[in-house]
Structure 1
Amino acid sequence: MKKSIALIAALAALALPLSANAHRAWLAPTSTSLSGADAWVGFDAGMSNGVFIPDHAAMNLAGLTITAPDGSTAQAENMSRARYRSTFDLHLTQQGTYRVANVMGGLIVSYKQGGEQKRWRGTEADMAANIPADATDVVATRTNSRIETFVTLGATSTTALAPTNEGIELVPVSHPNELAAGEAATFKFIRDGQPLANQQVTIARGGARYRDDPEEMTVTTGADGSFTVTWTEAGMYWINTSVRTAAQGDQMAANAQYNGALEVLP
Structure 2
Amino acid sequence: MRRLPLLAMAAGLTLSATLAHAHRAWMLPSSTILAGKEPWVTVDAAVSTDLFHADHNPMRLEGLSVVAPDGSRTAAENASTGKYRSTFDVKLAQPGTYRLAVVSESMLASYRLNGETRRWRGAADAMAKDIPAGAQDLRVTRMQSRTETFITSGKPSDKALAPSGSGLELVPLTHPNDLVTGSPASFAFVLDGLPAAGVEVTVIPGGVRYRDKLGEMKFTTDAQGRINVNWPAAGMYWISATHGAAGMGDANAGGTLDKPARRASYSATVEVLPQ
Give TM-score scaled by structure 2 length: 0.85
In the other structure, the counterpart of 1:45 is 45
1:259 to 239, 245, 267: 267
Cα deviation, residue 211, structure 1? 2.3
Whether 1:106 and 2:106 are equivalent positions in the alignment is yes
For 1:232 and 1:114, the matched residues in 2 are separated by: 55
For 2:144 and 2:244, the matched residues in 1 are separated by: 11
In the other structure, the counterpart of 2:86 is 86
Partner letter of residue 35 of structure 1? Answer: A
For the residue of structure 2 that corresponds to 1:54, the secondary structure is coil
Spell out, residue by residue over 1:63-121, the C-alpha distance to the aligned partner (whole angstroms, 9 max, x if none).
Answer: 11111111111111111112211111111101111110000002112223334443333
Partner letter of residue 57 of structure 1? Answer: N
Distance verdict in 2 for CA 1:94–1:117, change over 3 Å: same
The answer to whether the Cα contact below 8 Å between 2:235 and 2:273 also exists between their aligned partners in 1 is yes
For 1:208 and 1:126, the matched residues in 2 are separated by: 39
How many residue pairs get aligned? The number is 248
For 1:61 and 1:111, the matched residues in 2 are separated by: 30
| Identity score, percent | 50
Spell out, residue by residue over 1:112-171, the C-alpha distance to the aligned partner (whole angstroms, 9 max, x if none).
Answer: 333444333333333223322222222111000001100011111111111111111000
In the other structure, the counterpart of 2:22 is 22
Q: How does 1:188-199 map to 2 (within 5 A)?
A: 188-199=188-199
The answer to whether the Cα contact below 8 Å between 2:51 and 2:209 also exists between their aligned partners in 1 is no
Cα deviation, residue 207, structure 1? 1.3
In the other structure, the counterpart of 1:213 is 213
Whether 1:74 and 2:82 are equivalent positions in the alignment is no
Distance verdict in 2 for CA 1:216–1:20, change over 3 Å: farther
For 1:255 and 1:132, the matched residues in 2 are separated by: 24
The answer to whether the Cα contact below 8 Å between 2:100 and 2:150 also exists between their aligned partners in 1 is yes
The answer to whether the Cα contact below 8 Å between 2:205 and 2:237 also exists between their aligned partners in 1 is yes
In the other structure, the counterpart of 1:3 is none
The answer to whether the Cα contact below 8 Å between 2:105 and 2:142 also exists between their aligned partners in 1 is yes
Distance verdict in 2 for CA 1:20–1:210, change over 3 Å: closer
Cα deviation, residue 248, structure 1? 6.2
Spell out, residue by residue over 1:6-50, the C-alpha distance to the aligned partner (whole angstroms, 9 max, x if none).
Answer: xxxxxxxxxxxxx98211111111100111121110111111112
For 2:60 and 2:220, the matched residues in 1 are separated by: 30
Q: How does 1:1-266 map to 2 (within 5 A)?
A: 21-245=21-245, 247=254, 251-266=259-274
For the residue of structure 2 that corresponds to 1:66, the secondary structure is strand
Of the two, which has the highest radius of gyration?
2
Partner letter of residue 154 of structure 1? Answer: G
In the other structure, the counterpart of 1:15 is none
For 1:125 and 1:173, the matched residues in 2 are separated by: 37
Q: Which runs of 5+ in 1 are unaligned?
A: 1-18
Give TM-score scaled by structure 1 length: 0.87
For 1:119 and 1:240, the matched residues in 2 are separated by: 26
For 1:241 and 1:54, the matched residues in 2 are separated by: 21
For 2:74 and 2:124, the matched residues in 1 are separated by: 28
Partner letter of residue 31 of structure 2? Answer: S
For 1:54 and 1:31, the matched residues in 2 are separated by: 18
Q: Which runs of 5+ in 2 are unaligned?
A: 1-18, 246-252
Partner letter of residue 258 of structure 1? Answer: Y
The answer to whether the Cα contact below 8 Å between 2:140 and 2:255 also exists between their aligned partners in 1 is no
The answer to whether the Cα contact below 8 Å between 2:101 and 2:149 also exists between their aligned partners in 1 is yes
In the other structure, the counterpart of 1:14 is none
Cα deviation, residue 58, structure 1? 1.1
Higher mean C-alpha displacement, 158-167 vs 206-215: 206-215
In the other structure, the counterpart of 1:9 is none
For 2:152 and 2:27, the matched residues in 1 are separated by: 16
